[in-house]
């Protein structure tokens, strides 16, 4: 479920079904919903670090899709909200039973 050699290091990977699931930390991946502030010291460092994470996320998603994978990205805060848990379950269900290949699913914000 989490092989070390899966491209992009997804949090969960189902290689036989070509499904990669990422749970992106709101601070580390610049969640637009949470909009967490950067630390007050070393702002340039943190800004570059977070931007590189965002760029890498886009690259990894694009590469996996190009290789025929289905990619799910879930924000950390969505795991903490009870109202989102049902949506996450529905999203996973759709992904596992979908006949489509090579797409990205993201849980919409309310």
Q: Is residue 6 part of a domain?
A: no
Distance CA 38, CA 63 (A): 29
Q: Specify the number of domains making up the chain.
A: 1
Look at residue 3 in the predicted model and tell me its pLDDT: 56
Q: Is residue 82 part of a domain?
A: yes
Q: Is residue 78 part of a domain?
A: yes
Closest CA to 76 of 15, 34, 14: 34
Closest CA to 26 of 65, 92, 66, 84: 84
Look at residue 11 in the predicted model and tell me its pLDDT: 93
Q: Is residue 24 part of a domain?
A: yes
Q: Is residue 102 part of a domain?
A: yes
**What domain range includes position 88?**
12-106
Q: Check whether 96 has a pLDDT greater than 60.
A: yes
Look at residue 110 in the predicted model and tell me its pLDDT: 59
Look at residue 47 in the predicted model and tell me its pLDDT: 94
At 10-69, the pLDDT tens digits run 999 988 888 999 999 999 999 998 888 999 999 999 999 999 999 999 999 999 999 989
The CATH number covering residue 76 comes to: 3.40.960.10
More confident: 30 or 82 = 30
């Amino acid at each position: 479920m989490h092989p070390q050699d899966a491209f992009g290091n997804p949090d969960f990977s189902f290689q036989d079904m070509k499904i990669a699931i990422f749970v992106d930390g709101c601070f580390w991946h610049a969640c637009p919903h949470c909009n967490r502030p950067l630390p007050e010291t070393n702002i340039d460092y943190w800004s570059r670090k977070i931007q590189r994470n965002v760029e890498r996320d886009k690259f990894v998603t694009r590469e996996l899709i190009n290789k025929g994978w289905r990619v799910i990205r879930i924000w950390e805060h969505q795991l903490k909200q009870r109202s989102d848990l049902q949506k996450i379950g529905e999203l996973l269900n759709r992904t596992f039973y979908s006949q489509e290949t090579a797409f990205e699913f993201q849980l919409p914000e309310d």
